[in-house]
Chains A and B, each alone.
Chain A
């Protein structure tokens, strides 16, 4: 664990109740891994499941935390990331309350401060959603 739940707000711009990531498990130049527990109280919870917007936001916030961590490690300070686009989105299934989501981000390409990533989150090794995002860091 490289960023604990109690410190995550130092690395992402979102605040309660829009925080969709608990902790950052891994971050390096090739990608990031995070975890997030699904709670019934989550604003995107519905009929026993965490819904698609939360899962997409979870991928974006994993990027934010990862880039923030790398930036701080390089003494650059956390950057604000903007989603430029979301493509090739596939929803496989939704996670139940009480389960933990593991999200993996692969940085597939970059040009200057714009990054192309592949994100996927899983729950008990079952794929939830996968997509590609363009993230611009300011």
Chain B
């Protein structure tokens, strides 16, 4: 999966799961604020990441993710490590 596919996939499942307009998901925007995530929502995020990308995430992983750009970088690294 290349970066463009990662971005397209991410926008689709995040907008569905957290009921936000896809157009609000922009690279430099803050992920937590844009999706209005509370601590319980992060479990849902873990679930949809695993469903769509096939890897598990931990609380530690999210410490380095602030923006959507960070998220795409994180997914890219994880998928590369799995290949």
In angstroms, Cα B67 to Cα A55, docked, is 41
The 0/1 profile, CB within 8 Å of B marked 1, for residues 110-123 of chain A is: 11101110000000
Interface class of chain A by DSSP: strand
Q: In this complex, which of A85, A108, A112 has the most chain B Cβ atoms within 10 angstroms of its Cβ?
A: A112
Inter-chain residue pair count (beta carbon < 8 A): 28
CB interface residues, A 86-138, toward B, < 8 Å: 108-112, 114-116, 134, 136
Is the interface on chain A under 10, 10 to 19, 20 to 34, or 35 or more residues? 10 to 19
CB interface residues, B 35-83, toward A, < 8 Å: 39-40, 42-44, 46-47, 50, 57-59
Q: Judging by beta carbons under 8 Å apart, are A136 and B50 in contact?
A: no
Across the interface, B47 reaches (CB within 8 A) one of A109, A112, A136, namely: A109
In angstroms, Cα B58 to Cα A111, docked, is 6
Q: How far is the CB of B53 from chain A (nearest CB, A)?
A: 14
Measuring CB to CB, which residues of chain B are less than 8 angstroms from any residue of chain A?
A: 39-40, 42-44, 46-47, 50, 57-59
Some 9 contacts from A to B, beta carbons below 8 A apart, are: A85-B40, A108-B47, A110-B46, A111-B42, A111-B46, A112-B59, A115-B43, A116-B43, A136-B39
Known: A111-B43, A116-B43. 20 other contacts (CB 8 A): A84-B40, A85-B40, A108-B47, A109-B43, A109-B46, A109-B47, A109-B50, A110-B46, A111-B42, A111-B58, A111-B59, A112-B59, A114-B39, A114-B40, A114-B43, A116-B44, A134-B40, A134-B43, A136-B39, A136-B40
